[in-house]
Structure 1
Amino acid sequence: MSTVIAFIVIFGALVFFHELGHFVFAKRAGILCREFAIGFGPKVFSHKKGETVYTIRLLPIGGFVRMAGEDPEMIEIKPGYRIGLLFDKEEMVKKIIINNKEKFPDARIVEVETADIERDLFIKGYAEDAPEQLQTFRISPVANIVEDGTETQIAPIDRQFGSKTLGQRTMAIFAGPMMNFILAFVVFIIIAFLQGVPSNDPKLGELTPDGVARDAGLKQGDIVQSIGGAEISSWQDVVEIIRKSPNKPLEFEVKRGGKDANITVTPKEQEVDGKKIGIIGVYSPVEKSPLQAVKFGFDQTYFWTKEIFVMLGKLVTGQFSINMLSGPVGIYVSTDTVAKSGIYYLMRWAAILSINLGIMNLLPIPALDGGRLMFFAVEALRGKPIDRQKEGMVHFIGFALLMLLMLVVTWNDIQRFFLK
């Protein structure tokens, strides 16, 4: 159960912050965001606040922000339609009732002559209470269309995704992967604040309760000046000498509280990868400082970004088999393994997954953020956007292929971990 909770929290957080990036920059650009969803499939939870419906859906394999203009917008109000109109205090239309008008006794019934709910925001028609007079009714830019009891806010053209500048659209899409990198960076900083940043100073870190160092009299914070007569200048020097001396007494000269002390320690023998090495039960020293934590966050984010790109390169060149890829099942199993090592390892794993999600979404594959950014790049070169229907077809095919890949990877994971 703890693994299930850890998996849901980690995966949910990665998706949430990814979609939050899209959401925040879309709102900054003035785009109407109809829905902020975590997961796909049927709704499990739904809450509307302001213009946006916040939902949690059944299948926790992703999420989305539904922006106005990305899908076909609203129904078309054609001449001859009989609709109901409700008005606000400024006598602007606040609700357009398409059917079931009997449920709105206060609505004014109008036979439509012409209507525009995207650009000029008006309805012209003949009202039942004045059938011989053609009237023009102004529509509020935040009016709702009511159909089958469901209210949907209209999206004037200036609130739609496609009406925004290339830069605004690009940022709204790029912000998702960007947030994954920022999340990883922040998580690494938090780890560094809580756990400390590894230091190369020749100072003893925490001692294990059952280690020979503690039994011999060494203490955390001792500064090692020499070992067996060899001068020590870094933690790496300490590690190398100890590893090379299993079962050999070593005289440590340390400075403790401004005073020198000589302590003899005999490293315990341990076999690692077929080699016998010495250990004394001392962790490396750590340093806790804001600057070091920020540097650690940057270094770790850069390191794992580079490592993931190296693995992608091996996949492209055939050095890395598709059978070695992991999907949600593989991630769950790995999360179970990592969770047993402690909270810091779990946090580090979450940060690595976040970087991985950011990079995967930036790949120029249709249906992913990178695929959409690729179309924006083509638009910038052409000076005009690609036909929306053609782009939509490319994204649809890309999404279908991604789902097929997901099924293959998931089946491979099931075989690897559960059908051995």
Structure 2
Amino acid sequence: MEPIIAFIIIFGALVFFHELGHLIFAKRAGILCREFAIGFGPKVFSFKKNETVYTIRLLPLGGFVRMAGEDPEMIEIKPGQVVGLLLDKNGNVDKIIVNHKDDYPNAKIIEVEQADLEHHMYITGYVEQDEDRLERFSVNEPAFFVVDRQEIQIAPYHRQFAAKTLGQRTMTILAGPLMNFVLAFVVFLLIGLLHGYPVDKPIVGELTKEGAAREAGLQQGDVILSINNEPVKTWTQVVSIIRAHPEEKLLFKIQRDEKVMDIAVTPDAKKVQGETIGLIGVYEPMEKSVFGSVKQGVIETYYWTKEILIGLGQLVTGQFKLDMLSGPVGIAVSTGKVAQSGIYYLMKWGAILSINLGIVNLLPLPALDGGRLLFFAIEALRGKPIDRQKEGIVHFIGFALLMLLMLVVTWNDIQKFFL
């Protein structure tokens, strides 16, 4: 698989499931989700289903769910403004035409006196044909603004993010990172079901194309009973003995089907981190079962979560240097290398990246999901939300610093891999 294609598929899947978590819980809470986007920048592809526009954008660097009330509403109807109204058969407003009113000859033109499109859902104004007559019109749910011939759904307050309970808002934000952990578990589960999972049994697994085991005549599935007359019960014991005896002949007593036989194997010597160890070219044994795959999925997800948290701790304490971090360029290069090893290695790499994305997003930093959750925690302690403008400024500054860090890391990646 081409490196760039592998990267786009893996990273796109991680972002998709992360944003899908936000979308599912936002919709469950009754929040109007205007857009579900993968990528940033200009739209490459889009379609609308129900209330939401689903888009793929040019730059594959993330994604977002645009929820009503999260950004300042783009359209505001003010007193004195002239708009057109498209009414249903009961005289209620279906659409408010903001401009290009001449394109809608059936619209009732009014000069707005007052409008409440959040709570009581009405608009009053002086009708163009009778400027002395003030009329009040009820606004339907749903109803739409029409701006530049494009329809934008009006969001009553109860459909906005801020109107929801603290618990609903928390779950909507938390669901994104949690979905990354769920995705990682599912991928590890699938690897176990399709490819198998390692077991600590003294059984010969897959053999490399070249190696001492193949030369000596060992076969996949052979059960190792003893090595140099020392009984072995686990694969860990087998590896330990082999590693400790580079270039020394070892007598393997193995069981193949119903036969027991002795095979002499001389491990090859290899230097690893300054230490010479023995290798015979055999992978650990694998098994397949539903229960075992589920168990392995949990174990792998826990293990990599722990390892990534340890790495973050080392970053904080200075043991892990900033120039050792990888951004999109570094991840793309690494993904390409992993893809050359096979689909199961690529799947595992994707699962690890998914856990990493989930953990990073939970960090209590502005502009990340963890930063928003921190503000929710403060709200719970205070009993009231923090001023939205102040929170917005904090997140804006955090986003700017995050982009700056991304530029630094990307430049480091370019120097590391291409210069």
TM-score strictly above 0.5: yes
Partner of 1:167: 167
Query: 2 CA distance for matches of 1:232 and 1:30?
Result: 60
Partner of 1:48: 48
Partner of 1:96: 96
Partner of 1:298: 298
Query: 2 CA distance for matches of 1:320 and 1:88?
Result: 64
Secondary structure class of the residue paired with 1:364: coil
Q: Give 1:69 shift.
A: 0.4
Q: What is the percent sequence identity of the aligned residues?
A: 65
1:8-407 to structure 2, matched below 5 A, reads: 8-257=8-257, 259-273=258-272, 274-407=274-407
TM-score by length of 1: 0.94
Query: 2 CA distance for matches of 1:249 and 1:73?
Result: 76
Give the partner amino acid of 1:271: K
How many correspondences in the alignment? 418
In structure 1, stretches of 5+ residues that fail to align are: none
Judge conservation of contact 1:201–1:285 (CA < 8 Å) in 2.
yes
Aligned-residue CA RMSD in angstroms? 1.8
The 10-residue stretch of structure 1 (359-368 or 235-244) with the greater mean CA deviation from structure 2: 235-244
Change (3 A) 1:278 1:397: closer
Q: Give 1:127 shift.
A: 2.4
In structure 2, stretches of 5+ residues that fail to align are: none
Secondary structure class of the residue paired with 2:333: helix
Judge conservation of contact 1:34–1:67 (CA < 8 Å) in 2.
yes
Query: 1 CA distance for matches of 2:363 and 2:161?
Result: 22
Secondary structure class of the residue paired with 2:354: helix
Query: 1 CA distance for matches of 2:280 and 2:114?
Result: 86
Secondary structure class of the residue paired with 2:42: strand
Query: 2 CA distance for matches of 1:320 and 1:278?
Result: 31
Query: 1 CA distance for matches of 2:170 and 2:341?
Result: 40
Q: Give 1:209 shift.
A: 4.5
Secondary structure class of the residue paired with 1:123: strand
The 10-residue stretch of structure 1 (190-199 or 236-245) with the greater mean CA deviation from structure 2: 236-245
Secondary structure class of the residue paired with 2:145: strand
TM-score by length of 2: 0.95
Secondary structure class of the residue paired with 1:384: coil
Deviation digits for residues 147-199 of structure 1 (CA, Å, limit 9, x no counterpart): 22222100001000000000000110111111111111111111111221111
Judge conservation of contact 2:205–2:286 (CA < 8 Å) in 1.
yes
Give the partner amino acid of 1:65: V
Give the partner amino acid of 2:33: C
Give the partner amino acid of 1:264: I
The 10-residue stretch of structure 1 (356-365 or 230-239) with the greater mean CA deviation from structure 2: 230-239
Query: 1 CA distance for matches of 2:319 and 2:210?
Result: 43
Query: 1 CA distance for matches of 2:99 and 2:209?
Result: 75
Give the partner amino acid of 1:282: V
The 10-residue stretch of structure 1 (189-198 or 128-137) with the greater mean CA deviation from structure 2: 128-137
Query: 2 CA distance for matches of 1:187 and 1:292?
Result: 14
Secondary structure class of the residue paired with 1:298: helix
Give the partner amino acid of 2:263: T
